[in-house]
Amino acid sequence: MADALTSDPTLRRKPKRAPAWINRATPYMFMAPAVIIMAMALIYPLGYMIWGSFRAWDPTQTIGEAEFIGIKNYITLWNDPNFRESLGVTLKFAFFCVTIEMVIGVGLALLLDRNIRGMSVLRTMFILPMMIAPVVVGLMWRYMYHPSVGTFNRFLEKVGLPKVDWLGSHSLTSVIIADVWQWTPFIFILSLAALQSLPKSALEASRIDGATAWQQVVYIKLPLMMPVLIVTGLLRLIDSFKVLEVILVLTQGGPGLSTEILALRISRTATEFRELGVAAAMSNYLLMILMFLTIAMFAFNKLREIRAAWTRMAAEDDI
């Protein structure tokens, strides 16, 4: 009976294949929810901000009621010395923070890339500053910088040195120190993970060839870590442009405009000065700076990869 059923051609039909257009559309169907969420959460607010930057917009109006003034907000900002000073403070703050954090974080990762008893506890201790809320970090460092009862000035007084006006004449340096303390662990953890994922064969081959520890760092470890370091540095660079709570608690942007970065000025322009159109234009300036830096860093990484490929091709031709 079973043989008779299987021999019947009508009972051995192959399953129908889906039309080709369905196969082509399937990936886009799976991507559609994510694209819709991104459009609602990112593209629409971004477009709203760009459109608002071309209008004389204040909180008493809807964006449709505000007068269209073209690029006047951008021209006004570019001619505003206070905006240019805040931009300079932002660039200076971001450069020193990211540079110092990268040097210390990568250096610590290179020093601790070995089997040390209690490494898990050490890593947990390094992560702790990142887990503290920025407002709490600002309050902690504000008390330590206090001119009379602060930890630093009390220590200087004990060793016979003069007190320092940390949040006055050295305000920007003080803010940079607080940021470095909080975010160097981020660089350290990612750098250590990159180091521990390096191919052991390359390190063993260099060791057999007689390479010193310093030569391994310069010619093997750092070049292989570079893609991770570029992405890590880019993430910290973007984040350093958006620091707000720590500076607000520590100095409130003062004295004067010495620590007023663009994020703080944007917040003040929108809430205190009630100039939403100007604040939107300022946000777009910040967005353009970050986009330029992002493209430049990825272009550098791409050129480095192309150069490495050419070097490998040249070495293979020589062989």
Q: Which band of pLDDT confidence, cut at 50, 70 and 90, is reported for residue 257?
A: confident
Does the pLDDT of residue 6 top 60, yes or no? no
pLDDT at residue 12 tops 70: no
Q: What is the mean pLDDT of residues 267-290?
A: 91
What is the pLDDT averaged over residues 213-217? 86
In a domain, 96, yes or no: yes
Domain membership flag for residue 9: no
pLDDT at 7 (0 to 100): 54
Buried b (16+ CB within 10 A) or exposed e, 153-162: beeeeeeeee
Is residue 129 assigned to a domain?
yes
pLDDT of 260 = 92
Q: For residues 224 and 238, what is the distance between their CA atoms, to the nearest angstrom?
A: 23
Environment class of 259 (CB within 10 Å of its CB; exposed 0-12, middle 13-18, buried 19+): buried
Q: What is the per-residue pLDDT for 16?
A: 64
Planar angle of CA 127, 222, 105, nearest 5 degrees: 25
Q: What is the DSSP letter of 10?
A: G
| pLDDT band with cut points at 50, 70 and 90 for residue 203 | confident
Residue 308 and residue 302: Cα distance in Å, rounded? 10
Sequence-distant (≥ 6) Cβ neighbours of residue 171 within 8 angstroms: 250, 251, 254, 255, 258, 259
Write out the residue range of the structural domain in which residue 193 sits.
82-308
CB 79 within 8 A of CB 71: no
Q: Does 39 or 152 have the greater pLDDT score?
A: 152
The answer as to whether 265 is a domain residue is yes
Tokens of 114: 């070995």
Residues contacting 172, CB < 8 A, separation 6+: 89, 92, 93, 258, 259
The pLDDT of residue 303 is: 86
The answer as to whether 2 is a domain residue is no
pLDDT, position 302: 84
State both tokens at 91. Answer: 């660039």
Let me know if residue 29 belongs to a domain. no
State the residue for tokens 């196969």. Answer: 23
For residue 101, what pLDDT is reported? 94
DSSP assigned state of 17:
P
Residue 189 or 318, more confident? 189
At 28 the pLDDT is: 84
Q: Between the CA of residue 100 and those of 105, 106, 172, 179, what are the distances in Å?
A: 8, 10, 14, 10
Number of structural domains found in the chain: 1
* Cα gap 57→37, rounded to integer Å: 27
Question: Percent of the chain at pLDDT above 70?
Answer: 92
The CATH number covering residue 189 comes to 1.10.3720.10
Q: Which two three-digit tokens encode residue 32?
A: 């559609």
277 or 24, greater pLDDT: 277
Would you say residue 33 lies in a domain? no
- The pLDDT mean for the chain works out to 86
Alpha-helical (H) ranges within the chain are 2-7, 20-38, 44-52, 72-78, 81-111, 119-131, 134-144, 151-158, 171-196, 200-208, 213-216, 222-240, 245-250, 262-271, 276-318
pLDDT tens digit string along 152-193? 999 999 999 899 999 988 999 999 999 999 999 999 989 988
Q: Is residue 214 a part of any domain in this protein? A: yes
Q: Write down the pLDDT at residue 136.
A: 92
pLDDT of residue 253 exceeding 80: yes
Q: Count CB atoms within 10 A of the CB of residue 60.
A: 9
> What number is the average pLDDT over the span 290-301?
86
pLDDT of residue 200: 84
pLDDT of residue 152: 92
